[in-house]
Amino acid sequence: MQKYLRISYSILVFLCFISFTLYILNICSDLFLNLGTEIIGILLTIFLIDRIIKKNEENERKNLQKVVQRLLISPVNRHYDLWFNIYKATILELPAKDLTDPRELFNGDFYSKIAFLDITKNSPVYPERDWAKYIYQELNVFKEKLERIIIKYSFILESELLDLLENIVSNHFVHHIQLEYQSYKPEKGVTWFIWQSEGNLIINPVLEDYINAYYKLLDYLWNKIPEDKKKKITDQDWRDDVAPAIGSGRIDLAKGEN
């Protein structure tokens, strides 16, 4: 459409120039004066139509971007639940941090606590499954949903959002978990190899990189969506009768716990 409008502009401007040139030269002056004024009227009409089309296209693009933001709310919040559950299951007591803003989950002692996750213990989901399967499934579900959004809406995504989504779906951490799960054999008191660094209870930088990528997406969405759509953590979420119970997913160590 824009290409044809540009061509129409060029043709009409050329005809308008010819008409007024002939009018100035007094060649059929009345005819070309009328023709020139008619062309100017047509140019103005086309200009207004062009502006309306561009405005409609921009409004449609913004509406589609809002659709994408709404589509992201559910998977992003569900993925947050995964990391909140892991954190709750690996702490020994209620944290001092204020999760009125859920983004605060990933600050402070987050990494030092989740390093103690025992992936062979039961996770807080139904049907019953261990943490290994729960994490594996949730990572795959999240990745697949983001990939579908990229494929379907990449033409209207803001470059910032597109980069955030691609940073997650292409992150090496998910690939490592997929490989580890294929050879996973439940042994009491173990965690993912990729979860730790060189076998110590220290978070592997690959996992930290993934969490940082997710945090940036969460932060982006937090600043875009309505207040009533934002993830909220309440006192009820910390109760022991709401799975997982505090500390229920920790590796059982005789010493070395923080």
DSSP calls for 180-213: HHHT----TT---TTTEETTEEEE-HHHHHHHHH
Digit-by-digit pLDDT tens for the chain (258 residues) are 455 556 666 666 666 666 656 556 555 555 555 666 676 677 677 777 777 778 887 888 888 889 999 999 999 999 999 999 999 999 999 988 778 888 999 988 898 889 888 888 999 999 999 999 999 999 999 999 999 999 999 888 999 999 999 999 999 999 888 888 887 777 655 665 556 555 555 567 888 899 999 999 999 999 999 888 888 898 899 998 999 999 999 987 654 444
> What does the pLDDT read at residue 28?
57
DSSP calls for 36-75: HHHHHHHHHHHHHHHHHHHHHHHHHHHHHHHHHHHHHHHH
> What does the pLDDT read at residue 22?
57
> Under a CB-based contact definition with an 8 Å cutoff, are residues 160 and 206 in contact?
no
Q: How far is CA 223 from the centre of its chain?
A: 12
> What does the pLDDT read at residue 256?
41
> What does the pLDDT read at residue 4?
58
The domains of the chain are located at 2-53, 62-238
Can you tell me which residue has the tokens 């086309």? 46
> What does the pLDDT read at residue 196?
58
- Amino acid identity, position 58: E
Beta-strand ranges (E) seen in the chain are: 196-197, 200-203
> What does the pLDDT read at residue 180?
83
